[in-house]
Structure 1
Amino acid sequence: MTRHLSRRLLALALASAIAAPAAAQQAANPFALPQDAAPAPGPANDPAAFTVSDIRIEGLQRISAGTVFTYLPVERGDRLDASLAGDAIRALYGTGFFEDVRLDRQGDILVITVVERPAINKLTLTGNKDIKTDDLTKGLKDIGLAEGETFDRLSLDRVTQELNRQYNNRGKYNVEITPTVARLDRNRVDVTINVKEGKAAKIQHINLVGNEKFGDEAITDSWESREHNWLSWYRRDDQYSREKLSGDMEKLTSWYLDRGYVDFSLDSTQVAISPDRQDMYITAGLTEGEQYKISGVKVTGDTILPLAEVEKMIPVKEGQIFSRRLLEYTSDTIVATLANIGYAFAQVNPIPEVDQEKKTVGINFQVVPGPRVNVRRVVFKGNTRTADEVLRREMRQFEGAWYSQAAVDRSKVRLQRLGYFETVEVENVPVAGTDDQVDVTFTVKETTSGSFMFGVGYSQLSGVNLSVQLQENNFLGSGNRVSIAAQQSSYQKRYDFSFTNPYFTDEGMSLGYNLWWREFDYSDYGVANYSTNSGAGQVFLGLPITEYDTVSALVGIDTNEILLSASTPLSIYDYITAVGQRTFHAWRTQFGYARDTRNDYFMPSVGSYHRASVEIAMPGSTAEYWKAEYQYSRYFPLSQSLILLTAVNIGYGDNYGDVTYRDLCHDMTVPCTTASDDFLRTVNSDGLPFFERFYAGGITSSGRVRGFVDNSLGPREFNGFQSQPIGGALKTVGTVELVFPKLFDSPAARVSAFLDWGNVFADFDSFDASELRASAGVALLWRSPMGPLSISYAIPLRTQDADPSTFFPGDDTERLQFTFGGSF
């Protein structure tokens, strides 16, 4: 009896010695890692120590016993004393798997009782707009807070604190982060982090103290942080952000250094917030100092190029006012020049020599070219669908050649202009073991380059468009363009097949084919009442002659059957009568020249596009005529949030060769008399055929003048029933547009404000600038997942009212216009 009691007391003493420190820590913080709870080591002859004959683990649910034994520093046969017991507890807590660990003894068996931390069944984020869910989820996963991971409340607390800090840095001081944990069966939890972002604090006042030579407005003009103003709703520049303010303080320093104030110093920056945490007040104290001038300029180091050639790149001259920006520009110019001849890691360090007494600075441009670098490999990543060959043929930087920064930059632009990729990034990766070789890596993110469209199109001109179209600009990843389409609307039935190989030859010559058949009712298209049944087969070639310039040629044959009605305008009847038949056959050729320097396929922000073309119905065609057209557009980036687009489209056409004349009086079966003056006429085939004329007006036509009904501008003819547009031989339209690329975060959407102008005239002699129409408005263009959506609201500024003497009913205006096409 005494022996059993003694053993129980010994086990109890051991359990107390090894469990008490852990219990104390657990009481202080049930989720903390016990690092300071080591039991004091017992004496060498610790009476509570014993030799472990077996180890039993209790309380496991998801974690296997083998995993526990992996971390446990105790094995069978070990002598367990207070010190080793403390090590075991710390080791098991350190795994992060358990929220409670207890050691007990049953005879010589060590019993370890654990309480597992629950597993995260579901992690939900709500209310976060400023920080994207994907970015936030990735950050949470990096710290172990993710679905399937072990739940740790300390991690959740750290996340809450970090989110508060990040939102405060964005100026949102009223943010509320509320984490909730819901217990589930089988030791699981659902974690929900609810974010109430609130509104960013607005900057009400920026105060500069110490600036005597420059006004506040001039200094802060380029700042991202601005006082609340009438454009803040778009630019959001009145929202306080610690990162933005830090950048603006750098701009403040640069402002003075770029104007020669070498001794400038930023003494203090203070930010105050209103009690309701909605308004911010910024104060910056500064010392301007005196203005310095350049005392001399020299170039040292290994310039690679002749010294005289390098000196020509330096715009800094003696006697000029010192400017750090000019020094950086000079350094970048020399570095770019060296990078273009293989010195990819060249450096140019402008070393100033300041004379404070004379207020001058001497500049020494030290050139460190580094080794000349050869490109070992050009590597592509991210092109899971597009073949490497398609990307490689756009490269202007070649493997085995000297590195050229200009060639790398141009290669990137060419990939962006393919339209296959959402983003294109480039990185120079040094080759391990050598300092004169690099791998140039292009990382792309592929986007949809084609669509399968079926029957969901709508426009105000044609109503519902029933269509089936398979279009792929990157067919099977080969870069070839294939399109098969069938379309039916209120005014047309259309069947098309098109194929283009943009690299028919290695030199970049493109080859393509077009086959189509169309049944077109122009009366439902908003123009003169007649119909056509037409078909064509065409072959076209394109040949790049420079990096930006391309010439093209098209040869084809087509047929066009004209179907007239009782309400067809008389001039169209006259043309058919003069020609003597209603079916027109043509051997058609077209020659074109295009120059494209735009930087992006979908949403360009800089560059221009020119295209001039002439189309000829060759001799032997039923009607012999020609058409010429010129398109021009240019993008001017005024700032990161504003782009100016100017565009013009001019077209003209006429007949050539012999003109057929026909005297209607002689063709009549009844002799002509003075009572039939209406028939005493001669008709001819002079001018551009009516079915090839230009039209203007609307949102979808090539003669776009928004705010007017599609195709309604230009010459009209009254046939006794209604006034019908009949088109013209001269088209002049243009636009000036301000694009706001930052209004939406998505690169697939843009909003613009525009001024459109233009009209169509019967011929060149009929042109009258006073007849040009004009409109102004706003437009939305969105490449939605369902297809392109275009909406505009325009106010006609220059119109013509009805004129009863000429039966002109007045311009047909339409302020709200849209068109939509969908893909599935």
Structure 2
Amino acid sequence: MRLNKLFASILLVGATFSGNTLAESFQPFTVTDIQVEGLQRVALGAALLNLPVKVGDTIDELKLQQAIKALYASTNFENIQVSRDDGVLIVAVKERPTISEISFDGNKDIKDEQLQESLDGSGVKIGESLDRTMLSGIEKGLQDFYYGVGKYGAKVEAEIINLPRNRVELKLKFTEGLAADIRQINVVGNTVFSDEELIGMLELKDYVAWWDLFGERRYQKQKLQADLESIKAFYHNQGYIRFKETSTQVAMTPDRKGLYITINVDEGEPYKVSKVNLTGDLMGREKLMEALLPIKEGDTYNAAEVTFTEELYSKYLGRFGYAYPEVQTYPEIDDETKEVTLNVGIKPGKRVYVRAINFTGNTITKDEVMRRKLTQMEGAWLNSDLVERSKESLNRLGFFEKVDTETIQVPGTDDIVDIDFTVKEQPSGSFNAGVGYGSGTGVSLQFGVQQNNFLGTGNQAGLNINTNKYQKQINLSYTDPYWTKDGISLGGSIYWSKTDYGRANLEAYKNQSYGFALNSGFPINEYNRINGGIGFRHNTLSELSDNQQTNQFFDIYRDGANDELSFDNFELNLGWSRSSLNRGTFPTNGSSQRFNTKVTTPGSDVQYFKMDLDTKFYFPLTRSHSFVFLARARLGYGNGYGQTNDNDNILPFWENYYSGGSTTLRGFKTNTVGPRSFSVTRDQEFCPDPSGSGCSLPTNPNEIFVRNGRSLGGNAIATASLELIVPIPFLDEAYSNSVRTSFFADAGSIWDTEFDYDSYRDLPATEFAKIQDYSDPSLYRASYGLSVQWLSPMGPLVFSLARPIKEYEGDDTEVFSFNIGQTF
């Protein structure tokens, strides 16, 4: 007989013992052999290794329990039966099945990746053995998650599908159901602040206006905890240091579709600050550190101010190399006087030095280009201000979408660190090439490259070749911003162009020009720079249309009946620029100003000057800089100086200012805002007539006709824009630094200070045209709208939808516009 005795059942470990002879009690025996039956995946040696019984051992009831526990602890078996045949110990096992596949069905609120990550943490993976005892815990955990988001009807069921060779498929079925809406939120116990004021600061809502497309009344446990912390912080910031949230109840409606939330509070009373003590090592700077203290005696206690004070002293100590100071405030509360004494303990710790500064993520930009922008140096003590300024300097380069810093302590030391700058590069230039056809341009060929980080050197290089119906041009430029190690820049450009403005819907004339320019810049400090340059330009003008403004210019320089004029001008440039922007592209904080003066030298064929000022201010409205207010303006003025042929020189019309388009005054077509050319004719045809169908002959031979032409610009400009930059809903955070949306309002005026309106105001008005006072700066235009900017791989793209709110008869308006190559 193989089995001659039945071992007693040991319920504690769930093993089953069987045989053909029943015994009331277990009798110890000596093991002469061990047999393990039922093994498939687990090797015999591994099973015996986990069995704390060997041949020759005497086994009793205690050792038997220990043996069975050890086998279960190996996690390889889901059922174990032991028996004996004389001295042979027989262990019959059933291995846990191997997970061959894991699938999910019905889950919408939880992504498959999140579910798999949770299962991985519990050891439930494909290829591992399945522990059925864990499934109920997994089901309950997932169900609790749904309860936490208000889905109290949710169910989670784990289904096991058996497959050949002791394999299984684990299938998790989800019935999520609908989330219970918050029917009402109540605050009980508050007397100082109203329910509306407290509930208004909560993220959970029991009411959502019809126009709030993104609002919801869905309950989430995590949000409730955050809201309770918000209420607590609010009271602590108002001086109620003893405020307590005594209890919170979340009750479900009978239909399980709604929730009532009740928050019980004990407000307490407001406390004043009786005294602030600075303790610890003040490094001999007691008076200065006391002067920095933002909290004064008699102030109402404010927890946020306390935290700010701790951060302020930590940053202050960080400027002197104390990278890991301990600044902690210990309040002493006097409940009788309702006062608080604040003891600010300061422990600077050791001064920390920088061993090395490393860069990662710059696959294009060379290390030396980044290193020369640093103000924190290797070998010096760690200065938190200099590290932050270095980060801002790298951002202002415009080469990076994101710059992060991390201070890493050198292993084995407590006063030496490395600084790692991690950057994410972005397109730092633009490229265009193609062949096209348009009704306004005809056949066009374009090729252009503008690179502000040429070959990763930080140098600027550009090559542009364009040809279309009205223009042919080529321009080659190059600038080295660090021609010297001190940051003196040197650059130059060579250009040639030939333009027929009459075929470009502008006032008709032809202009052929070529020239070169050299420029250099000198840094004053980190934010300010002086720029200067010299250049030569040759212009040839011909086939000028007949109008009053250009005739005024030609009357000064025209020699007899010659219809073609050439000018050789030598130009000097001098400018100042300042920038404290936190980023080179898509800044969110800081300001920038540029002032530039251009003047032709005495002896040039045309003597004139131009002055331009551009300024921008960015004001972040939130700590995360997701909402930003932008104000920008431009002022410009130009005129001639000296005399030619006994006439006062004026600004040449090809140097006039224009406005309109996607980068200046949106809602108006490019370069159409401002003075237009006009002509005064007598005894001539007027073409076309108002109907646009032909020519009109004057009914009176002596009648005066005034004909308005196309845009000619003016010698003065003033524009301003206000923008609210907002985050784009549903946009992945990874793209937040490459796409920007803003609501804007633009206004601007172009005028001609040399226009003599009195000479034309008395001309009889006709049905064809009416002369405006082009010298009046109050004739401004304005618009508002929406703009989207994208840093695409081809360069910056700007799309605008705009509507004019101030316009004049004859203005060329447009609703949609776009531009390539410039961002605000």
**What range is the shorter-chain TM-score in?**
0.7 to 0.9
Q: Return the offset for 1:93.
A: 4.8
- Contact 2:657–2:714 (CA under 8 A) maintained in structure 1: yes
Is 1:601 the equivalent of 2:576?
no
Residue deviations 1:255-313, cap 9 Å, x none? 22222222211112334566787766543221111222222222221111332222212
Q: Return the offset for 1:182.
A: 11
Is 1:737 the equivalent of 2:723?
yes
Q: Return the offset for 1:691.
A: 1.0
Q: Which residue of 2 aligns with 1:715?
A: 675
Q: Which residue of 2 aligns with 1:467?
A: 446
Q: Which residue of 1 aligns with 2:801?
A: 793
* Alignment partners' CA distance in 2, 1:138 and 1:476: 42
* Alignment partners' CA distance in 1, 2:123 and 2:777: 70
Please tell me the residue identity of whatever aligns with 1:392.
Answer: R
Could you tell me which of 73, 77, 90 is aligned with 2:49? 73
- SS at 1:357's partner residue? coil
Segment of structure 1 superposing worse, 132-141 or 211-220: 132-141
- SS at 1:403's partner residue? coil
Q: Describe the shift of the 1:235–1:116 C-alpha distance in structure 2 as closer, same or farther (beyond 3 A).
A: closer
Q: Which residue of 2 aligns with 1:117?
A: 98
Residue deviations 1:703-755, cap 9 Å, x none? x1111222111101235556201011011111111121253443122322211
Could you tell me which of 658, 661, 664 is aligned with 1:695? 658
Q: Which residue of 1 aligns with 2:351?
A: 372
- Contact 1:458–1:819 (CA under 8 A) maintained in structure 2: no
* Alignment partners' CA distance in 2, 1:605 and 1:770: 32
Is 1:755 the equivalent of 2:745?
yes
Alpha-carbon RMSD across the aligned residues, in angstroms, is 4.8
Superposition pairs for residues 258-657 of structure 1, below 5 Å? 258-272=237-251, 281-450=260-429, 452-455=431-434, 466-489=445-468, 491-564=470-543, 569=547, 571-572=549-550, 575-576=553-554, 578-580=556-558, 581-639=564-622, 641-657=626-642
Q: Return the offset for 1:758.
A: 0.7
Residue deviations 1:412-468, cap 9 Å, x none? 222222333333222222233332222222222333434544339999997997533
Q: Describe the shift of the 1:74–1:364 C-alpha distance in structure 2 as closer, same or farther (beyond 3 A).
A: closer
Segment of structure 1 superposing worse, 381-390 or 226-235: 226-235
Is 1:776 the equivalent of 2:784?
yes
Q: Return the offset for 1:633.
A: 1.3
- Contact 2:460–2:478 (CA under 8 A) maintained in structure 1: yes
Identity of aligned residues (%): 34
Q: Which residue of 1 aligns with 2:712?
A: 726
Q: Return the offset for 1:49.
A: 3.4
* Alignment partners' CA distance in 1, 2:607 and 2:713: 18
- Contact 2:431–2:794 (CA under 8 A) maintained in structure 1: no
Segment of structure 1 superposing worse, 241-250 or 627-636: 241-250
- SS at 1:771's partner residue? coil
Please tell me the residue identity of whatever aligns with 2:628.
Answer: I
Please tell me the residue identity of whatever aligns with 1:49.
Answer: D
* Alignment partners' CA distance in 2, 1:696 and 1:214: 53
- Contact 2:481–2:489 (CA under 8 A) maintained in structure 1: yes
* Alignment partners' CA distance in 1, 2:514 and 2:135: 68
Please tell me the residue identity of whatever aligns with 1:815.
Answer: V
- SS at 1:538's partner residue? strand
Please tell me the residue identity of whatever aligns with 2:49.
Answer: P
Q: Return the offset for 1:88.
A: 9.4
Q: Which residue of 2 aligns with 1:817?
A: 817
Q: Describe the shift of the 1:45–1:202 C-alpha distance in structure 2 as closer, same or farther (beyond 3 A).
A: closer
* Alignment partners' CA distance in 1, 2:384 and 2:568: 53
- Contact 1:515–1:537 (CA under 8 A) maintained in structure 2: yes
Q: Describe the shift of the 1:790–1:183 C-alpha distance in structure 2 as closer, same or farther (beyond 3 A).
A: farther
* Alignment partners' CA distance in 1, 2:456 and 2:137: 46
- Contact 1:612–1:630 (CA under 8 A) maintained in structure 2: yes
Q: Return the offset for 1:103.
A: 12
* Alignment partners' CA distance in 1, 2:358 and 2:542: 58
Q: Which residue of 2 aligns with 1:207?
A: 186
- Contact 2:50–2:74 (CA under 8 A) maintained in structure 1: no
Q: Return the offset for 1:625.
A: 1.5
- SS at 1:310's partner residue? helix
* Alignment partners' CA distance in 2, 1:537 and 1:821: 23
Q: Return the offset for 1:657.
A: 2.5
Segment of structure 1 superposing worse, 338-347 or 410-419: 410-419
Please tell me the residue identity of whatever aligns with 1:695.
Answer: Y
Q: Describe the shift of the 1:108–1:234 C-alpha distance in structure 2 as closer, same or farther (beyond 3 A).
A: closer
- Contact 1:491–1:520 (CA under 8 A) maintained in structure 2: yes
- Contact 2:427–2:791 (CA under 8 A) maintained in structure 1: no
- SS at 2:292's partner residue? coil
* Alignment partners' CA distance in 2, 1:225 and 1:741: 21
- Contact 1:56–1:109 (CA under 8 A) maintained in structure 2: no
Residue deviations 1:475-522, cap 9 Å, x none? 333333333333345544443333333322222223333233333343
Structure 1 length as normaliser, TM-score? 0.77
Please tell me the residue identity of whatever aligns with 2:556.
Answer: A
Q: Return the offset for 1:370.
A: 1.4
Q: Return the offset for 1:250.
A: 2.0
Q: Describe the shift of the 1:561–1:137 C-alpha distance in structure 2 as closer, same or farther (beyond 3 A).
A: farther
Q: Which residue of 2 aligns with 1:49?
A: 33
- Contact 2:328–2:345 (CA under 8 A) maintained in structure 1: yes
- Contact 1:92–1:101 (CA under 8 A) maintained in structure 2: no
Q: Describe the shift of the 1:438–1:654 C-alpha distance in structure 2 as closer, same or farther (beyond 3 A).
A: same
Q: Describe the shift of the 1:398–1:564 C-alpha distance in structure 2 as closer, same or farther (beyond 3 A).
A: same
* Alignment partners' CA distance in 2, 1:754 and 1:586: 40
Q: Describe the shift of the 1:729–1:156 C-alpha distance in structure 2 as closer, same or farther (beyond 3 A).
A: farther
- Contact 2:749–2:777 (CA under 8 A) maintained in structure 1: no
- Contact 1:590–1:614 (CA under 8 A) maintained in structure 2: yes
* Alignment partners' CA distance in 1, 2:443 and 2:659: 22
* Alignment partners' CA distance in 2, 1:287 and 1:795: 53
- Contact 1:498–1:513 (CA under 8 A) maintained in structure 2: yes
Structure 2 length as normaliser, TM-score? 0.77
- SS at 2:391's partner residue? helix
Q: Return the offset for 1:541.
A: 2.0
- Contact 2:248–2:264 (CA under 8 A) maintained in structure 1: yes
How many residue pairs get aligned? The number is 749
